[in-house]
C-alpha cells in the first residue's frame, strides 16, 4: 500500500455496524452496510482458513467499507464454494481461490491477512505473512506450543507490521469497564481470581474409523507440520481442538479468552508455579484426547488464579457457564459475556446475624455492542495509522495469555507441580521443558 493511499485511508471514514453478534451475522446484510469506495482507497484482505472463526472475522471486517476481500485460502474446496456463495449474496464478487497459503502471500494486491486456521498452523502462517509484508489479524491462541509463541512474539516485534490477535473481549466495552473497576481498588485485596468454562452443549466425540480424505480436500496441506496420520473426520474442521497434534483443548480455546482477563485484572505475568488435575471424566471412552474436566492453579506472590473447565454440564460458578471472578476482601466482581456485577462481602456480626456490607452492591452491567466488530475496527484503524500502540490485542497480549495457558497444559501432561524460572524463561524441570517444544513434520520447518 502506497504512502499516499495510507494517508487517504487514515482520514477516511469507517462504515461499521457496532451491534449484534458478528458470529451469526447474515452476509447478505453487508450489501446494505457497505458504501462504494474507489479501488485505490481500499484495504485488500486475504483470508486463510475459511470454515469457522476466520470467516466470522472476515464478515466483521467487511462491515468496514474500506475493506475488500480479494482472496480466500482453504484446503477444502467445498468450504471455498460455500463461503464464496455467501459473499456473493452480499454483492461481493468471487475472490481468488488458493489452497496453499504461500501462494496467497505472493499476491501483491493483498494488504492484510486474516489467519483462521487450526492452532498448529498459526506460527508458520503468521511469520510468513510478516515476511511477505502483510499486516495480520490472527485467531487465538497464537500457537500450539510455548516455543512457537516465543518465535512469533520475537518475529512480530522485529517487524513494522500491525498484528492483532483475535481476543476480541479486549475491545468489548463492558469487559473494559469491569477491569477498570477491579483496578480501582474498591474490591480490597484480591487473593483469588477464578476463570471457568462449563460447556453443557459439548457431547462425546464418537469413535470413527479412518477413511480416505473427502473429495476436494488437500489433506496433506491440512496436516502441514503436524504428524502424519490417516484421515479421520474427528480430527478435521471443528473437532481438531480436542487433539494435541493441533490444539490444546478447552484450556487454549475458551481459556485463552477468559484467562486473559484474569491476568489483565490482576496485572499478572507468568506464575511462579502451576499444577493441574483433571482428565477425561465426562466421556472417558470417546475419541478426544484433551481433558474434558480440569482444574488448574497458577501461583503468584500474593494471590492465585484458578482455571476450571468441564464439558457436558453448565453448572459453573455463580450460576454462569463461563466467566471470571475477582474475589476481594470487600467484594467479588463476576464477569461474563453477558455483563458484570459486584457482590459485597459482609462484616461478621456473629452466627445467625446479618452482617454489614463492606461495599455497595452493583447490579448487572449489561453487555453493549459487538466486541468482535469493535476489535476489527480497532485493527483497521491501526493499519491506517501505522501505530501499533493503538491495538487492543497486540502480540504481547496474545503471547502472555497463550504462554500461561500452555503452562497449564504442561502441568497437566506432567502430572506434577511445575515451577517457572522467570529469568531463564523456562521450567526448572527438564521433562516439562520438553513439552514446551514444537515438533514439525512432513518437511515443514520451524521459522528461523
> What pLDDT digit, counting tens, does each position of 91-109 carry?
999 999 999 999 999 999 9
- Segment 126-143 shows an average pLDDT of 98
Count other Cβ atoms within 10 Å, centred on residue 202.
19
Q: Residue 169: CB partners within 8 Å, gap ≥ 6?
A: 175, 257, 260, 261, 337, 371
Q: Residue 159: CB partners within 8 Å, gap ≥ 6?
A: 130
CA 106, 110, 112, 113 dihedral sign is negative
Residue 15: the pLDDT is 35
Tell me: pLDDT of 34 over 90.
Answer: no
Tell me: pLDDT of 18 over 80.
Answer: no
b/e for 407-443, b at 16 or more Cβ within 10 A? bbbbbbbbebebebeeeeeebebeebbebbebebeee
198 strand-pairing partners: 310
- Segment 356-378 shows an average pLDDT of 94
d(CA 255, CA 404): 10
Tell me: pLDDT of 20 over 80.
Answer: no
Q: Residue 120: CB partners within 8 Å, gap ≥ 6?
A: 144, 224, 225, 226, 245, 246, 247
The pTM of this model reads 0.93
What is the tens place of the pLDDT at every residue in 160-193?
A: 999 999 999 999 999 999 999 999 999 999 999 9
Retrieve residue 318's grid coordinates.
455463580
Contact 408, 146 (CB under 8 A): no
Pinpoint the residues of the chain covered by CATH 3.40.50.720.
Answer: 3-170+372-395
- Segment 13-20 shows an average pLDDT of 37
Tell me: pLDDT of 249 over 70.
Answer: yes
Residue 14: the pLDDT is 42
pLDDT band at 24 (very low <50, low <70, confident <90, very high): low
C-alpha dihedral over 155, 156, 160, 161, to 10 degrees?
120
d(CA 269, CA 162): 23
Domain 3-170+372-395 fold is: Rossmann fold (3.40.50)
Contact 193, 266 (CB under 8 A): yes
Retrieve residue 107's grid coordinates.
499476491
**Higher model confidence: residue 179 or residue 7?**
179
Pinpoint the residues of the chain covered by CATH 3.30.360.10.
Answer: 173-367+400-435
Retrieve residue 82's grid coordinates.
460455500
pLDDT band at 355 (very low <50, low <70, confident <90, very high): confident
| Integer angstrom CA distances of residue 61 from 17, 127, 286, 422, 447 | 10, 22, 37, 38, 28
pLDDT band at 22 (very low <50, low <70, confident <90, very high): low
Q: How much is the CA Rg of the chain, to the nearest whole Å?
A: 22
H helix intervals, 267-370: none
Q: Exposed, middle or buried, 241 (CB in 10 Å: 0-12/13-18/19+)? A: buried
Retrieve residue 100's grid coordinates.
496453499
Q: Residue 417: CB partners within 8 Å, gap ≥ 6?
A: 273, 274, 275, 411
**Higher model confidence: residue 396 or residue 3?**
396
Angle at 231 between CA 227 and CA 233, to 5 degrees: 120
Tell me: pLDDT of 133 over 80.
Answer: yes
pLDDT band at 40 (very low <50, low <70, confident <90, very high): confident
Residue 25: the pLDDT is 79
**Higher model confidence: residue 354 or residue 327?**
327
CATH 3.30.360.10 applies to domain 173-367+400-435: yes
Contact 67, 45 (CB under 8 A): yes
Closest C-alpha to 205, from 321, 308, 292: 292
pLDDT band at 226 (very low <50, low <70, confident <90, very high): very high
What is the tens place of the pLDDT at every residue in 70-92?
A: 999 999 999 999 999 999 999 99
What is the tens place of the pLDDT at every residue in 253-311?
A: 999 999 999 999 999 999 999 999 999 999 999 999 999 999 999 999 999 999 999 99
d(CA 55, CA 60): 9
Amino acid at each position: 500500500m502506497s504512502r499516499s493511499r495510507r494517508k487517504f485511508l487514515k482520514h477516511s471514514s469507517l462504515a461499521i455496524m457496532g451491534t449484534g453478534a458478528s458470529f451469526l451475522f447474515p452476509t447478505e446484510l453487508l450489501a446494505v452496510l457497505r458504501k462504494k469506495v474507489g479501488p485505490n482507497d481500499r484495504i485488500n484482505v486475504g483470508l486463510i482458513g475459511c470454515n469457522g472463526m476466520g470467516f466470522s472475522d472476515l464478515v466483521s471486517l467487511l462491515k468496514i467499507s474500506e475493506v475488500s476481500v480479494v482472496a480466500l485460502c482453504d484446503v477444502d474446496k467445498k468450504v471455498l464454494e460455500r463461503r464464496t456463495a455467501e459473499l456473493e449474496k452480499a454483492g461481493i464478487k468471487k475472490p481468488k481461490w488458493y489452497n496453499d497459503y504461500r501462494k496467497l502471500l505472493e499476491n501483491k494486491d493483498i494488504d492484510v491477512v486474516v489467519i483462521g486456521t487450526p492452532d498448529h498452523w498459526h506460527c508458520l502462517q503468521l511469520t510468513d505473512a510478516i515476511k511477505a509484508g502483510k499486516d495480520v489479524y490472527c485467531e487465538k491462541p497464537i500457537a500450539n506450543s510455548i516455543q512457537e509463541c516465543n518465535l512469533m512474539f520475537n518475529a512480530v516485534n522485529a517487524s513494522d507490521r500491525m498484528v492483532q490477535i483475535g481476543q476480541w473481549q479486549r475491545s468489548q466495552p463492558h469487559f473494559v469497564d469491569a477491569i477498570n473497576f477491579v483496578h480501582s481498588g474498591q474490591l480490597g485485596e484480591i487473593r483469588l481470581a477464578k476463570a471457568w468454562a462449563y460447556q453443557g452443549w459439548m457431547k462425546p466425540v464418537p469413535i470413527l474409523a479412518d477413511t480416505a480424505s473427502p473429495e476436494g480436500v488437500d489433506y496433506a496441506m491440512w496436516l502441514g507440520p503436524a504428524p502424519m496420520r490417516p484421515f479421520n473426520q474427528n480430527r478435521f474442521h471443528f473437532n481438531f481442538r480436542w487433539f494435541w497434534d493441533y490444539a490444546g483443548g478447552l484450556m487454549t480455546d475458551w481459556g485463552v479468552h477468559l484467562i486473559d482477563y484474569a491476568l489483565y485484572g490482576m496485572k499478572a505475568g507468568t506464575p511462579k508455579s502451576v499444577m493441574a488435575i483433571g482428565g477425561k471424566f465426562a466421556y472417558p471412552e470417546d475419541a478426544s484426547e484433551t481433558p474434558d474436566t480440569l482444574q488448574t492453579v497458577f501461583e503468584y506472590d500474593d494471590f492465585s488464579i484458578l482455571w476450571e473447565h468441564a464439558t457436558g454440564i453448565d453448572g459453573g460458578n455463580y450460576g454462569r457457564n463461563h466467566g471470571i471472578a475477582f474475589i476481594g476482601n470487600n467484594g467479588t466482581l463476576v464477569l461474563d459475556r453477558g455483563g458484570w456485577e459486584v457482590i459485597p462481602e459482609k462484616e461478621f456480626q456473629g452466627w445467625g446475624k446479618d452482617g454489614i456490607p463492606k461495599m455497595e452492591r452493583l447490579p448487572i452491567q449489561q453487555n453493549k455492542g459487538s466486541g468482535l466488530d469493535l476489535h476489527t475496527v480497532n485493527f483497521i484503524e491501526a493499519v491506517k495509522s501505522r501505530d501499533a500502540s493503538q491495538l487492543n490485542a497486540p502480540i504481547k497480549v496474545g503471547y502472555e495469555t497463550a504462554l500461561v495457558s500452555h503452562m497449564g497444559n504442561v502441568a497437566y501432561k506432567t502430572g506434577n507441580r511445575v515451577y517457572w524460572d522467570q529469568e531463564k524463561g523456562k521450567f526448572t524441570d527438564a521433562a516439562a521443558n520438553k513439552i514446551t517444544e514444537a515438533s514439525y513434520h512432513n518437511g515443514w520447518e520451524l521459522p528461523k
